[in-house]
Amino acid sequence: MPELPEVETVARDLRTAAVGQRITRVRLSRPDVVRHPGPEAFAAGLRGTRVEAVERLGKFILCALDSADELVIHLGMTGHLWVCNASLPPRPHTHLRCRLEDGRELRFADARRFGRLLLGPRALLREVGVLPLLGVEPLSDEFTRDRFTAALRRTTRPIKSVLLDQRSIAGIGNIYADEICHHAGVRPTRRCHRLTRAERVRLFEAVPAVLHKAIANRGTSFDDYRDLWDARGSNEEELQVYGRGGLACPRCGSVLRRTVLGGRSTVYCPDCQR
């Protein structure tokens, strides 16, 4: 499940691989992964354009094109973007193939099809509602301690729900929400307005700490995440709680507990997360 660190890893490599390249040929074999505009307009609008920049916003990848449109990619749960020689046979569930000038191909595959593709000017995509307004980027200068702790004081929601809310903070998903709570020593079910000042500060510091480390490890390949070159990230080895219910807490040795919060599997340490 690609979250901010995985999407950032892919976006950085895509920047190197695709910026300056012209898309000479477009094959869209699964029209329903395109959410805007229609499939024909999407393919026609992509063909012949040059990639000028690649940016990540939350879990979205935005490729600025010389046509003034942006190609927007959301990987959903199982979406996979990769660049390979155009002659390689496509893997199953490959929905989009973009031929690049250098003989390589940018491909989008997604078994569950929770991912989606958009094309258009960013403002239009926002207007139409296919590109949602996102909260603060947790690795940017806008993510300040005052802003974060003030937001937490204002809500009664469980801390994990806030971390997962893309309108509050962009890019955090189920894996890193649990990891951030564990790093901060705060139980994910804790209601924000009841957190102490020290806990709010620990959470604020845990957010970039956990995300930066995961980026340094090129992401977590817990299920089927692979980078642009089809390689695994190594951050799975660093996970303290996610997917480890019933196992020992790496910090204190207690048995990690699994529960469900907001419909999401949630793992925490009953002893060192209060």
Partner DNA sequence: CCCCTATCCTGAGGGC
Partner DNA sequence: TGCCCTCAGGATAGGG
Question: What one-character-per-residue DSSP string does 156-205 give?
Answer: -SBHHHHHH-TTTBSS--HHHHHHHHHHHT--TT-BGGG--HHHHHHHHH
**Whether 234 contacts 218, CB under 8 Å:** yes
Q: Does 57 bind DNA (CB under 7 A)?
A: no
State yes or no: is 70 an active-site residue: no
CB contact burial 16-37 (16+ within 10 A = b; e otherwise): ebbeebbbeebebebeebbbbb
State yes or no: is 59 an active-site residue: yes
**Whether 137 contacts 171, CB under 8 Å:** yes
State yes or no: is 3 an active-site residue: yes
Q: Does 95 bind DNA (CB under 7 A)?
A: no
- Nearer Cβ to DNA, position 19 or 77? 77
**Whether 107 contacts 40, CB under 8 Å:** no
Work out which of 49, 149, 174, 220 binds DNA, going by CB under 7 A. Answer: 174
Q: Does 113 bind DNA (CB under 7 A)?
A: yes
- The residue range among 16-24, 64-72, 76-84, 137-145 that interacts with DNA, by the rule CB under 7 A, is 76-84
- The residue range among 83-91, 135-143, 194-202, 259-267 that interacts with DNA, by the rule CB under 7 A, is 259-267
State yes or no: is 264 an active-site residue: yes
Residues that bind DNA (CB under 7 A): 1, 3, 32, 58-59, 74, 76-78, 92-93, 111-114, 129, 132, 155-158, 161, 164, 166, 173-175, 261-265
Q: Which residues are catalytic?
A: 2-3, 59, 264
